[in-house]
Structure 1
Amino acid sequence: MKKILYLFCALLSVTFYACSDKNEENVYQTTKLTVELVYPEGVIPTEGVIVKVRNTVNNTSFDALTNGEGKASFVVPSGVYEASATDSKWDAGNLIVYNGLNSQVVVSGQAAQVQLQLTGSRTGSVVIKEIYAGGCPKDDSSGAFINDQSLVLYNNSSVNVDLNDFALGIVSPYNSQASNTYYTPDGKLSYASEGWIPAVSGVWYFNTPVTLEPGKQIVIAITGAIDNTQTYSQSVNYANADYYCCYDIEDYNNERYYPTPAEVIPTSHYLSAYKFGQGNAWIFSTTSPAVFIFRPEGQKLEDFINNAETTDSKSNKKIPVEWIVDGVEVFAKGNSSNKKRITEDIDAGYVEMTPKMGYTLYRNVDKEASESLEENKGKLVYNYAGGADSTTDPSGIDAEASLKNGARIIYKDTNNSSNDFHQRAKSSLRN
């Protein structure tokens, strides 16, 4: 019996050693990866830029800094990675942000070197501060209420901005996980090299004079511009005289989406629409809207919309990239079919959204810029804990609490939603 026990222990020891050795080989086998940032012609690479690579399967990430040649070196396990980087430079008084994203970096056991093409774009004065699109749970737990969507615009600059000719659009297709026929066989967006993005259905615009002061915001109720909390307690109350709303029953008259706005909202705060697609509602995706704001240049918006040459083969409008003030790419949380619709010169990344939980997408605070303002001394509130699904603002600053405390917040604006946004536990309008 004792001899049998010894043999069993020896066999167990060998078995354990073999399994342990195999696990170590699988887990710890690593490969050198070099990522080279490729700037537009004439732009000198920057030393010390943070390059991030993220494993697309297990979501582990690694950071490294570029050298003087714009190269960053990593030692990572085999797998498929997403590489990204953001740099910024001043040019003739304008801040140019350079972004790059490559979601198909394959590391398979041999040293690899990949290039990350960077695209430059100017930062804007007005930014999309918040997107509330996914709806909230119904009080009786019977499902979700989704017709209470909104957008918050914010003047991130130090000067007044005239919004009179600003317009709002969404990119086709409505959902990031939907089939996207704009992709070519080689995996590229067909319009990326042509300098436009496809706006679907219609666009909304301000039809009365509007001036947005520095550090101030405008709330736009996309659907349900009423006090929705009367029916669903976790929803949003838009019955506010300062708010704006999308309401133009001549073009979009679906009462489910557009009940008569709350009486306190002035009719002068109703945005008007130019409709060029089908349907009686402007569908703002509840899982993954690709939303943008733009300002026409050199012509009136109406003339652009009525020009047949600005319509593509899918009946969408070709909005010039140089008109785009800000845009945010939203992906459906955890969906493997997500595809980008907004080009990298507008938004080089994306932010994921979980619908039906009352969550909102909220822009991160630019910590250094906000702390540098003399007027903010003693007014910034820290220890922010408002994130949802393990996301948060890396600055640690509670933006809404700081605003209420009299601070002037400057939000992060790198034209890369992966850096600029997080998912917040609830709409800031509910605070």
Structure 2
Amino acid sequence: MKRSLYLMMTIVTGFCACQKKDLGSTATPVNLSVAIEYNSEVSSIGLRKDSALVRITNNTSGTTKETYTNINGVASFESITPGHYTITASISIPRSTYQQLSGTVVEQDVAFNGNITNESITQQQTKIKVPLVTGRIGNWVFKQIYYAGSNTSSGAVFRDQFFEIYNNSTDTLYADSLCFAQLIGVNNTSANYPTHGYLPNNQFDWTKSVGMNDANANTNYVYARAVFMIPGTGKQLPVLPGKSMVIAQTALDHTAPYYLNDGTMQQITNPALTIDLSGADFEAYLVDYKRAESGNSPTFNPYKWDVDNPAVPNLKVFYSTINDMILENTGRDAFVLYKTGGADPKTGFPFFAAPNITTVLPTTNLYQQIPVQLVIDAVELQRVTESSRVPKRLPNSLDAGPTNVSGGEYTSQSLVRKTARSVNGRRILQDTNNSANDFVTRAKADPSKTDASFTY
């Protein structure tokens, strides 16, 4: 997967001088050996190791090579330029084979994935082991997405939205610097678009964006209208296997009245329709970001529903074209979780205007370009009625099928990822790279993170 020259140069400038020297074109090529190994839960049951796909990506040049493992689970790469690499490995075990070897009943083929980010390959470091685990590469997944909101007159409308991220691996993961982005895309069903800036399916054609110089702009990247990051310096926010974190739009108890930023009281008519988010792990608070964006104008008025709960930490806000982390109630939306691989979340990736814009002005909205190879999990939503659905915005490599709550907007319903199986009390959530298969509708959103918040 190759990145644009602009992106490559941006990331390179963030490296220190000694790293630039280490990654120079004069370095002597090395032969790299990558061995896969299964996690301890299944390492002894006899799963095959041959035919796993191993891919290595140079983090500086974006050059990608891939090959398959031999019978011993080893993939060999010749004449590799020393440097920092992302190494991924994946293998799918047929359902019948896995059941026979493990004695565990499964509903689908079992995918094992491994990911090592920013591994330094040198003359002395030419043998790498990649642990394989079930679930997506990276092992963070969206567990629950509450986008529909609650009743517009007796509920909380959009104010009680949240999403829940889950550690789907066997290892403790750290949420520090995990990014969440809402993506931009065409949000209507009209088939009568102008010819400039659109694909045949009426979604944006990002190769036509002003300043774009990448023929793979539609497949190798996604484009964000809002970017948030969980704060932390590296290992401040451990999340144990099978545990999760709740990210609220506004971390307040929405079943009770509270004051808005304009001093008025927000009432609630039917508390049973909404939820208490005062116990969320993080919230999105954009008032300070929007105030700074206005140049600290004395006439700035904060968005009245973006109320801060001082008891709940705020996400870092790097970019947003809207006033709050408002998820599209009707389902015309898509989200990604990713880590930047060392690049600055705010400046490490370029921004582009929508492809239907031919002249970029100072007031034109720009959208950040995020490499697909950095995405850990992705979910695309759609409207309930197929005739009302908008053009698909996520490439199939991230999400082969969009999903939705069964009742549509303002129903208090949430999406919850299915449980594939449990191991010693830890749930392994289903992730087939197809949200239409992986999620089900919950009658009412549940941010408790308890066993009751899952589904089977």
Q: C-alpha displacement at 1:145, in angstroms?
A: 2.0
Change (3 A) 1:90 1:317: closer
Matched, 1:365 2:409: no
The DSSP-based 3-state class of the residue aligned with 1:336 is helix
Q: Distance in 2 between matches of 1:291 and 1:409?
A: 23
Q: C-alpha displacement at 1:194, in angstroms?
A: 4.0
Q: Distance in 1 between matches of 2:190 and 2:109?
A: 28
The DSSP-based 3-state class of the residue aligned with 2:255 is helix
Aligned to 1:311: 352
Match of 1:251 among 289, 295, 314: 289
Q: Distance in 1 between matches of 2:93 and 2:142?
A: 30
Q: C-alpha displacement at 1:169, in angstroms?
A: 0.6
Structure 2 counterparts to residues 7-406 of structure 1, below 5 A:
88=111, 93-94=131-132, 122-137=136-151, 145-173=157-185, 175=187, 183-185=198-200, 190=205, 193-200=218-225, 202-208=226-232, 209-222=236-249, 224-230=250-256, 231=268, 232-233=270-271, 234-240=273-279, 243-252=281-290, 254-261=302-309, 263=310, 265-266=311-312, 269-275=313-319, 277=321, 279-288=322-331, 289-304=333-348, 309-313=350-354, 315-338=366-389, 339-353=391-405, 354-367=408-421, 370=422, 373=423, 375=424
Aligned to 1:111: none
Contact 2:92 2:112 in 1 (8 A): no
Q: Distance in 2 between matches of 1:46 and 1:304?
A: 34
Aligned to 2:434: 416
Q: C-alpha displacement at 1:238, in angstroms?
A: 1.2
Q: Distance in 2 between matches of 1:143 and 1:178?
A: 32
Change (3 A) 1:246 1:89: closer
Contact 1:174 1:284 in 2 (8 A): no
Contact 1:176 1:330 in 2 (8 A): no
Q: C-alpha displacement at 1:337, in angstroms?
A: 3.6
Q: 5+ residue gaps in structure 2?
A: 1-52, 56-65, 70-90, 97-107, 115-129, 207-216, 257-267, 292-301, 356-365
Change (3 A) 1:425 1:142: closer
- Note the aligned Cα RMSD (angstroms): 3.6
Q: Distance in 2 between matches of 1:43 and 1:124?
A: 20
Contact 2:430 2:438 in 1 (8 A): yes
Change (3 A) 1:290 1:364: same
Q: Distance in 1 between matches of 2:202 and 2:303?
A: 39
Aligned to 2:362: none
Q: C-alpha displacement at 1:256, in angstroms?
A: 3.5
**Any idea what the Cα deviations from partners look like across 1:350-388, whole Å, max 9, x if unmatched?**
112311110001100013xx1xx2x2xxxxxxxxxxxxx
Structure with bigger helix share is 1
Q: Distance in 1 between matches of 2:229 and 2:351?
A: 18
Change (3 A) 1:236 1:143: closer
**Any idea what the Cα deviations from partners look like across 1:169-225, whole Å, max 9, x if unmatched?**
11113857588986412667645654001111x211112332212111101102x32
Contact 2:399 2:433 in 1 (8 A): yes
Q: Distance in 1 between matches of 2:410 and 2:244?
A: 25
Q: C-alpha displacement at 1:147, in angstroms?
A: 1.3
Q: Distance in 2 between matches of 1:160 and 1:184?
A: 42
Taking only the aligned residue pairs, the percentage that are identical comes to: 24
Query: Residue 311 of structure 1 aligns to which amino acid in structure 2?
Result: F
Q: Distance in 1 between matches of 2:67 and 2:203?
A: 25
The DSSP-based 3-state class of the residue aligned with 2:427 is coil
Change (3 A) 1:178 1:144: farther
Change (3 A) 1:143 1:188: closer
The DSSP-based 3-state class of the residue aligned with 2:419 is coil
The DSSP-based 3-state class of the residue aligned with 1:418 is helix
